[in-house]
Structure 1
Amino acid sequence: MAFLYKIRLLLLALTGVACVVLWPGVQAALVVDNNLSAWFLTDDPALAAYRDFQGRFGNDEVVVVVVKDDRTVLTPGYFAGLRALSAELAGLPEVAQVLGAGTTELPGRGGLLGAEAPRALLPPGATAGTVRAALGELPTLRGQLFSPDYRATRLLVVLRQLPDFDNRRGAILGRVRAVVYRHFAPGQALLGGVGVVFAGLNELSQHDFGLFLGVGYLLMFTIFLVIYRNFYLLLYTLGIVGLATYLTLGVYGALGHRINLLTVLLPIVIILLGFLDSMHVVNERNLLPTAATDTPRASALQALRNVFQPCLFTMTTTAAGFLALLTSPMAILRDFGLFAALGIALCLGLTFLLGVTILPLTRPVPRATRATGGAVLRLYELVLRHRRAFAALAVGLMLALLAGLPRLHSDTYTLGYLPDDYVVVTDHRAMEAAWGPYMPLELLVQPRPGLTLDSSRVLRAAVAFADSVQTMPGAGAGFGFQSLYLAALEPRFGPKARRALHSQGVVRAVHAQLRASYPALARQYVHEPSQTGRITVAGPMLSARQLTARMATVLGIARATLGPVARVTPAGYQPMYARITAYVTTSQTNSLLTSFGLVFLLTWAFIRNFRLAVLAVVPNLFPVLVLLGVMGWAGIALDAATASIAAIVLSLCTDDSIHFIHAYQQGRLRGELPAVARRATVAHIGPTVVLTSVILFLGYAVMLLASLKTVQLFGALTAVAIVGALFGELVIFPLVLERFDRRARL
């Protein structure tokens, strides 16, 4: 520590240089981005399939706009508004195409096989009667443009596939929304779609990140200042977590990452571990026997020297716990684990660098530490006097929590992350009420050898598939490559259009006319080079688990209807969304097992005593059991946000356990009897455990005020787990140590 003290100014200067260099990275990191590349690894087969789908059919991110009226949208005012809205949307450089009543051209009489040129559905002067009459001959097209009662109409705004689309999504959708609201009022015009949900998540993530990072810091440091009443100690702790957060985000952004739904919690993790390290140093200094007479510099360096070894090992074990998330198949969890470990390592370095810089400027303030130590000792003695009652309480709690584990399930419902009164959620509900299910499930159809997409057999099978899917509960209208042929044949053949699909000659003629008259629309559903057709099945917005079941049902129908003539595979965003459930389950299991394994091995290596290492695992298991049991009983699913909490809780407990074991071992090495060593350890480590738990509990509990439900759940569950960790450290661990450490009976 003396050498570190001598070079402190040089290291501080290098830290300042790093802060300047990493400033652009911090700015880049603070741009929230919840796009798919944040969730999936670049070599993930699901992501590769999605990119292949986009390569064939372009960007599948479509903004669904529903315009509704309580009576009817078939009025001249709505017709004019739809024409103007469609034209302005189509004029946006990021929009590839607008599909809706305002842009629709009807086939001439006789359909595509007739001689008349196409005509607009809503020309100037159109009336409700002319529109009804025109669409009366075109049921397939009518179902895509208007609700059955003509109280709602739908526009599909197809966005261009741009190289930097993910980063520009929010701005693009903001312009689309502004255009829509210029023509129709909010509530009259509703917006939905996958991109709209992503943009809403980005907006609220950025809001909650800034707000609750500030509120959490303010609350925790205010409590810290109230407890210790020393500005220099506040500056010390604030400097550790502030600089560690800044440098971590700087590296994160410099490597091309952006804050997302999960890494928005990185600063909260750094606060937790930074507080633990700093308070172990502060309380160690306050409890030094010579603290009252020693010089500030000497007491500071001695305290830092005393805690260096356990802090080094807690950093190692804690970082290992987070690095266990690297076993996850999800990029979002891997990034979280990697950069949380980086933040923890920075906390350790800054704990000692700022310790040799700031602590010598002030004397110890032992009042709060010694008062808390006395209270903890009284609790410890109470536990020992009533050990059977407390042991029974601990066992009862464990059994109750274990009973909640079978209720635990993994699922992800993206819309459920948003508050109920948020515009994305209210628009979604109003859209489903006015229009019906609208979320797309994309399917790719590839004919078997000897057949093509315009083969009569393939088209008839695709029509049969679409008819069967629409009988599913909650299914909306579907549209695909086969719908183009039906829509083209209905003006000429009317109700017999489906029979006309039996004529290969008629089908081939329609195919040629589709390519000639509607090339852009045809490319939306037919990829000629690979002979791949696209069918979009509309459905409700589901959780990942529900979507997996829905996809299985749809594919079963596809095998029965299309199976003999074509191969059908799910495509687009929805299969990736469904895969998140399996990934979360795998991540939770693998990372937790890996974390326990690494923590146990590192703890064993540190204390060099197998029995004590095993005993140290017990209090670490309890708060994880508290977390998972409470989630099971409360019906909270494991998802991308909650899957990481177990690793965080394990890290918190490991930190306290190692300090506890280290102090206990040091007492035994000094020749203290086991009972004396345990009592001294409780008095020495207990204040830090209690004070940090109180501060962190309040800091995490304030996250319940957040808008984003992931942040709310993270705060609530972590606060509950902190209470469990405190119970484990102050009640379970001392009881287990006394009962099973054989040396205690010497």
Structure 2
Amino acid sequence: MSWLRSFYDRLIFPRPVLVLLLFGALLLIASLRLDQFRLDASAESLVLEDDRSLEQYREVNRRFTTSDDFLVVTYTPDQELFSNEGLALLASLRDELAALENVSSTNSILNVPLLHSPDLTLDTVNSEIKTIDEDDVTPDTAKKALLNNPLYPNLLISEDARTTAIQVNLPTPERYFELLRERNELRDKVQSGQASAEEQQRLETVSQAFIEFTEAQGEERDRTIKRVRGILDSYRDRAEIYLGGVPMIVADMIRFIQNDLSTFGVGVLIFLLLTLAIIFRQWRWVLVPLLCCSFTVWLVIGYLSWAQWPVTVISSNFVSLLLIMTLSLTIHLIVRYREFQHDDPEAESRDTLRHTLLAMIKPCFYMAITTIVAFGSLTFSGIRPVIDFGWMMTIGLTVAFLITFIIFPALLALLPPPVDDRVRSNRIPFTDWFARFTEHYGKTVLVGSAILAVLCVIGLNRLTVENSFIDYFKSSTEIHQGMITIDDRLGGTTPLDVVITDEKPPESEAGGDPFASDCDPFVEDCEGAEEYRDTWFTYQKMDRLGKVHDYLDSLPETGKVMSIDTTLDILAQVNGGEPLNALELAFVPSAVPDDLKDILLTPYISEEHDQARFSIRILETSPDLRRQALLDRIRTHLTEEMGFEDDQVKLTGMTVMYNNMLQSLFDSQIKTIGIVFLAIMVMFLILFRSIKLALIGMAPNLIAAGSVLGLMGWLGIPLDMMTITVAAITVGIAVDDTIHYIHRFKTEFEKDGDYLATMHRCHRSIGQAMFFTSLTIITGFSILVLSNFIPTIYFGLFTGFAMFMALVGALTLLPRLIVLVKPFGAEL
């Protein structure tokens, strides 16, 4: 420690002003690009690192000319919808929305083809199409036409004809896809090692251009959504109106996160400061931790801004966690400083500070390293935002440690605190009670811990990784109410696409004569005739697709299902209610008017790529929704029951991408948590150089982490993209208390060799610091329950519970095991 003593005596203590000035310059540099700090809730932030689901999703949208880039306005007027006044009010709202700058078009019951006329046939469909906008259609006729059409009910209009929807299209500019395509191609070249230096430089340029373009588009879309909400507000006195759609969900998630980062970040800090003021009752012990916490967050955010490293939904709580870790370090230093000050009140403040730093740097370093290991487990998840979160916390913990042991002493050298006569009287009987309880009821502690461990294991087995977007928002929020309305009346929220690729016949068979047999495939139901037709529109293929449609529609988790079968049902209505025969099927592509193909054909059939698409809306409000089980059930039925090859069936969409992310989180975090504990066990062996101490130190960590995850299992709270990180957080928190207690126990035991006496002294000293840290953090994070974002609420509650369980384990089970096993040798 001589070099460390020299470091403080020569650099920090004599020149605290210079140290702070140099650090201030560093803060200034970090702040130069704070305007580049950004949040990202895009689709790319919810997919695996090597997952191609996003590209498949975009590819399907391009092939079938579809998109999820639209808002949904649900509209339930106070008066009758299908009346002249009701339709006029709807038209007024639609026109105001359509007039917005970034809205390309709108779809509603006003402009969709009614396909209902006595003179309408397959031959006259082009001339007899009517709309409410363009033709003199009575409200009753329009209502009947819309409800009898297979396409519109539960999509644009509810079955009771009380609620309708306006689809507000927000197209993504082609420039976005050009930049995305070029960036991905260059990135693949770089990753494969085939890129030239010029291409590597081009990748940086294109990536920067893509980020800037995406940010500009995001800001523009946010402004559009804000204007849409403004228009809707002016109609709410005459109708029940909600806003939904994927862009709105993304925008609201970002808004909630930004609110939590700012409002609750400040709120947490205020709560922490009030608690510090009540505990220590000296303004220095409030100011110094405040500055250290603020500096840590400032530097890390500055670094993320310089590196253009976006914060996502998953990593948005890094600010709160950095506050926890930095505050924990500073509180331990404060308590130790006050102890030295009380033991030798006549000592120079610089000597007291030196003793504090030299005594605490080792356990704090151990704490930082093991916590980094815990958060480092996140880098193995395979999900880029989770990996980034792990690295953010690794960088943040490093910064927190350096600030605590450089800036903290520099500040105290300038502001030496006076001797506080209340140090002894400040002792809280809480930790003394734990010491007495552990001494007299040691068996109860062990039996209680064993029972708790069993309950944890049972709870862990009850954990699920399913969740619905609706569960992220309080029932009082518009997004929650809108999802319920869309699910209940308009066919579901989250998109899922099932794409089936046609099976190509062998070359020898494909070149055969389709009329070689006595069966004419154009006019008859010919067994096997479809293998000679290079088209989807044959009787056999359409019959098979119809069975797929019926199966998907029968699933309880699915709402509206649309496919070519929906189009055939519409054409059957036009055909007088009779299903199309084989010959009529063959001429469907030419029979459908050009202006209806984008509605009836191209969204469901891609002849160019030999693919058929089924568009499904998943009911987010379904209590039995289990995404992985649903996707497995669909694939199994299509391949095993209906005879499709596995490579013919492709499942894509937001449902698939979100599910892939959840399942990967489960695999990487829950199933590998044993590896995380093994890594920490190795760290303990290195730190304590005793297998007994390593095993003893693991016990409270296992109990703390198991308690949080087990509680989630018992309460039925599913793991999702935010709550999954609670495991790593809990391990990091529990490890801190364990290291500090064992290190202090070892130091105190050398004084008299009495385990019980040492335990009581540790509870009165380091136990106080652990108690103050836990109390401060639990109190501070309690404010998060006021958030509108449910994951933030869970984060606050489970962080507080983790702190409590870590504290209880470190003050009961840990000392009981130390007294029982005697890892420091026999008593003197």
Q: Report the TM-score, using the length of structure 1 for normalisation.
A: 0.90
* Map of 2:26 onto structure 1: 18
Q: Give the superposed CA RMSD.
A: 3.2
The aligned runs of 1:69-218 (5 Å cut-off) are 69=77, 72-105=80-113, 109-111=119-121, 113-114=123-124, 116=127, 118-123=129-134, 125-132=136-143, 138-140=149-151, 144-162=155-173, 163=176, 164=214, 165=217, 168-182=220-234, 187-218=239-270
Please give the alpha-carbon distance, in whole angstroms, between the structure 2 residues aligned to 1:42 and 1:632: 28
In 1, are the aligned partners of 2:497 and 2:652 still within 8 Å (CA)?
Answer: yes
Render the CA deviation track for 1:467-512: whole Å, top value 9, x for unaligned.
Answer: 3433333643322244345435633x1211x2245535422422xx
Does structure 2 conserve the Cα–Cα contact (< 8 Å) formed by 1:227 and 1:368?
no
Q: How does 1:314-333 map to 2 (within 5 A)?
A: 314-333=367-386
> Which of these residues, 609, 614, 620, is aligned with residue 530 of structure 1?
609
Q: Give the superposition deviation at 1:315.
A: 0.9
2:630 to 529, 550, 558: 550
- CA contact 1:103–1:120 (8 Å) conserved in 2: yes
Aligned CA distance change for structure 1 residues 206 and 544 (closer, same or farther; 3 Å): farther
- Mapped partners of 2:236, 2:437: distance in 1: 69
Post-superposition CA distance 1:242-300 (Å, at most 9, x none): 11112212222333344433322112111211111111111221122764112222221
- TM-score, length-normalised on structure 2? 0.82
Aligned partners of 2:487 and 2:559 also within 8 Å: no
How many pairs does the alignment contain?
741
Q: Equivalent of 1:245, from 289, 297, 311?
A: 297
Compare the two structures and name the one with the higher helix fraction: 1
Find the residue that maps to 2:165 and give its secondary structure.
Answer: strand
Alignment of 1:354-373 (within 5 A): 354-360=407-413, 361-363=415-417, 365-367=419-421, 369-371=423-425
Does the aligned pair in 2 maintain the 1:65–1:190 contact within 8 Å?
yes
Whether 1:657 and 2:748 are equivalent positions in the alignment is no
1:616-631 correspondence runs (5 A): 616-631=697-712
Moved more, 259-268 or 161-170: 161-170
Which moved further from structure 2: 224-233 or 578-587? Answer: 578-587
Pair 171,482 (structure 1): closer, same or farther in 2 beyond 3 Å: farther
Q: What is the aligned partner in structure 2 of residue 419 from structure 1? A: 474
* Residues 367/719 of structure 1: CA separation in 2 closer, same or farther (3 Å cut): farther
Q: Which runs of 5+ in 1 are unaligned?
A: none
Which region of structure 1 is more displaced relative to structure 2, 658-667 or 549-558? 549-558
Alignment equivalent of 1:264, drawn from 294, 316, 334: 316
User: What is the Cα deviation at residue 187 of structure 1?
Assistant: 4.9
* Secondary structure class of the residue paired with 1:410: coil
Structure 1 residues 19 and 183, CA gap change in structure 2 (3 angstroms): same
CA distance in 1, matches of 2:245, 2:425: 57
Query: What corresponds to 1:293 in structure 2?
Result: 346
Q: What letter corresponds to residue 38 of structure 1 in structure 2?
A: S
Structure 1 Cα separation of the partners of residues 557 and 339 of structure 2: 66
Question: Which secondary structure does the structure 2 equivalent of 1:362 belong to?
Answer: coil
2:328 matched residue in structure 1: 276
Residue 457 in structure 1 maps to residue 540 in structure 2: yes
One-letter identity of the residue aligned with 2:616: V
Partners of 1:131 and 1:233 lie apart in 2 by 73
Contact 1:545 1:581 in 2 (8 A): no
Aligned to 1:507: 588
Residue of structure 2 in register with 1:341 after alignment: 394
Give the secondary-structure state (helix, strand or coil) at the position aligned to 2:407.
helix
The structure 1 residue matched to 2:576, chosen from 485, 491, 494, is 494
State how far apart, in whole Å, the 2-side matches of 1:71 and 1:435 are: 19
Matched residue, 2:483: 428
Greater mean deviation of Cα atoms: 655-664 or 318-327: 655-664
Q: What's the CA shift for 1:43?
A: 2.8
Indicate how the Cα distance of structure 1 residues 132 and 377 shifts in structure 2: closer, same or farther if over 3 A, else same: closer
Could you report, residue by residue, the CA deviation over 1:348-393 in whole angstroms, capped at 9, with x for unpaired residues? 1111122221112223555555345573346424421332343334
Deviations 1:23-54 (A, max 9, x none): 3654443x543222222244323233223334
Contact 1:283 1:366 survives alignment (8 Å): no
Please state how far the C-alpha of 1:317 moved relative to its aligned partner.
1.0
Whether the 8 Å CA contact 1:663–1:681 is kept in 2: the answer is yes
CA contact (8 A) 2:557 2:624 kept: no
Q: Which is further off, 557-566 or 674-683?
A: 557-566
Check the 8 A contact 1:454/1:507 in 2, yes or no. yes
Show CA shifts across 1:55-91 (max 9, x none). 4345323323332246642222333344444444444
1:651 Cα deviation after fit: 1.3
Name the aligned partner's letter for residue 47 of structure 1: L
Partners of 1:455 and 1:166 in 2: how far apart? 44
1:666 aligns with 2:777: no
